[in-house]
Structure formats: C-alpha cells, structure tokens
C-alpha cells in the first residue's frame, strides 16, 4: 500500500497577512453562530498566527471550511490534543480534517472514537511548522482528502481563549519518532471502519461537545 503524502503549500516561516476576504470570516461567524462575546477578530496587516492578543487564541479558517471543526470542541478533540501535547493553533488544517473525519465515521458506524484506535491509522508528523497526521501503512479510511491548503497560515483569526475549554500547551519543535504499532486486524473497530470520502461529512451535525 502506498502511504498518502500530506502536502502543505507556502507555509515556511512567518508570513504577513494577505488580504483574505473579511467576508469569509463573517460567513464563518454567521454560519457557525459565534456569539458576539467570542469576539472573533480579523488580524491586522502584518500580523501572524503567533500574534494573538492576551486572552485570545488563533484559529485557521480552513479548520471550519475543510476540516469540519465545530465549537465547542468535542471530548475526542480534547483527548487528541492532550495525548499529543500540542496547542490547537499548532495543528495543520489537514490534521484537523483527519481528526474530525475519524470521529465522524466512528460514530456513524456505532463505535466510540479513541486515541488508541486513531493511532492505528494515523502517524503524527510535523510539516512546515505545523503538527499533522499521515496515514500509516494500514487500510485506508479517508479518501478524496484535500492535498493542500493555499496560504493557510495567512487565513486565520483570533478568538477568545475560553471558547475552547481545553487545557493546552504549546509543544516545542521536536523530532517525531515513527510509531511501529501492531495492526489489530481481528478487532471490531478495525474491521468496521470503512473508507469514506471526506466531502460526505461536510453537512453532518453530530457533535459531542465538552
């Protein structure tokens, strides 16, 4: 089986904010019904994702557009962030898409999403400053996934930190060892999880918020 390659374009180093459409942020705020008190803020020219004001965190537009991210964050999202020890703003949108896709297909097939079974299918990687996940050499459960996110580092906004009630730490850049995990081919979860195109998940409303 050929391992899927995650490509992230144009994300090397700190970059100035491009004029990504403020209307897109307004669509996200309206479409996901952000309360006014969450105070989602479009960044100023020249700011980067590292410039969140005190009391705010950085989120990326592609989390919502391509990654099926919703707030409040779910218990499974909290478990992933806790296990791998990184901040949500250090997560690549492709990594978000993999987390949410896995969560959705588990629930749709009557399974409880868990970090242990997630690790069977996904390997933590670090690419161009972000943490993400690549498919391990097991059966494929995600098809038709996005291959890149153009200017993703420049499509971000700031929001009040309390909207994600998860204790998060910023993970220092480090070498990531490849996990050599057994493939539980006889276990129920492994057998039941079937390949699903990610675009089928866009309109699913299931969530298990914290």
The answer to the question of residue 1 being in a domain is no
Q: Note whether residue 10 is domain-resident.
A: no
- Supply the pTM of this predicted model: 0.83
Taking the C-alpha atoms of residue 45 and residue 121, their distance in angstroms, rounded to an integer, is 39
Residue 6 belongs to a domain: no
What is the overall mean pLDDT for the chain?
83
Query: Could you tell me which residues come within 8 angstroms of residue 203 by beta carbon, excluding any fewer than 6 positions away?
Result: none
Confidence of residue 80 (pLDDT cuts 50, 70, 90): very high
Task: Say if 11 falls within a structural domain.
Answer: no
Is the distance from CB of 94 to CB of 145 less than 8 angstroms?
Answer: yes
Q: Is residue 193 part of a domain?
A: yes
Of 88, 66, 65, 67, the residue nearest 77 (C-alpha):
88
| Residue 209 within a domain | no
Residue 79: inside a domain: yes
Strand stretches in 7-143, DSSP E: 56-60, 122-127, 130-135, 142-143
Is position 56 within any domain? yes
- CA separation for the pair 147, 9 (Å, rounded): 9
Q: Which domain holds residue 155?
A: 22-171+185-201
User: 96 exposed, middle or buried (CB, 10 Å; 0-12, 13-18, 19+)?
Assistant: buried
Mean pLDDT of the 15-22 span: 65
Q: What is the pLDDT of residue 4?
A: 35
* Number of structural domains in the chain: 1
Higher pLDDT, 1 or 28: 28
- Contact (CB, 8 A) for 121 and 4: no
- Among 70-79, 136-145, 172-181, which is the least confidently predicted range? 136-145
Question: Which is nearest to 146 in space by CA: 49, 28, 8?
Answer: 8
């Amino acid at each position: 089986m050929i391992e899927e390659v995650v490509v992230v374009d144009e994300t090397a180093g700190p970059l100035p904010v491009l004029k990504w459409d403020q209307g897109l942020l307004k669509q996200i705020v309206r479409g996901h019904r952000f309360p006014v008190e969450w105070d989602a803020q479009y960044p100023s020219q020249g700011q980067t994702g590292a410039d969140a004001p005190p009391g705010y965190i950085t989120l990326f537009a592609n989390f919502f557009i391509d990654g099926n991210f919703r707030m409040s964050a779910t218990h499974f999202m909290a478990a992933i962030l806790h296990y791998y020890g990184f901040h949500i703003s250090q997560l690549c949108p492709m990594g978000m898409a993999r987390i949410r896709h896995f969560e959705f297909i588990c629930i749709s097939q009557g399974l409880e999403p868990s970090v242990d079974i997630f690790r069977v299918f996904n390997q933590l990687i670090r690419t161009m400053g972000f943490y993400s996940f690549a498919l391990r050499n097991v059966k494929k459960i995600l098809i038709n996934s996005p291959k890149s996110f153009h200017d993703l580092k420049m499509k971000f906004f700031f929001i009040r930190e309390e909207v994600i009630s998860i204790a998060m730490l910023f993970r220092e850049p480090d070498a990531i060892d490849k996990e050599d995990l057994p493939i539980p081919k006889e276990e129920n979860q492994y057998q039941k999880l079937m390949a699903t195109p990610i675009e089928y998940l866009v309109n699913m409303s299931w969530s298990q918020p914290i």
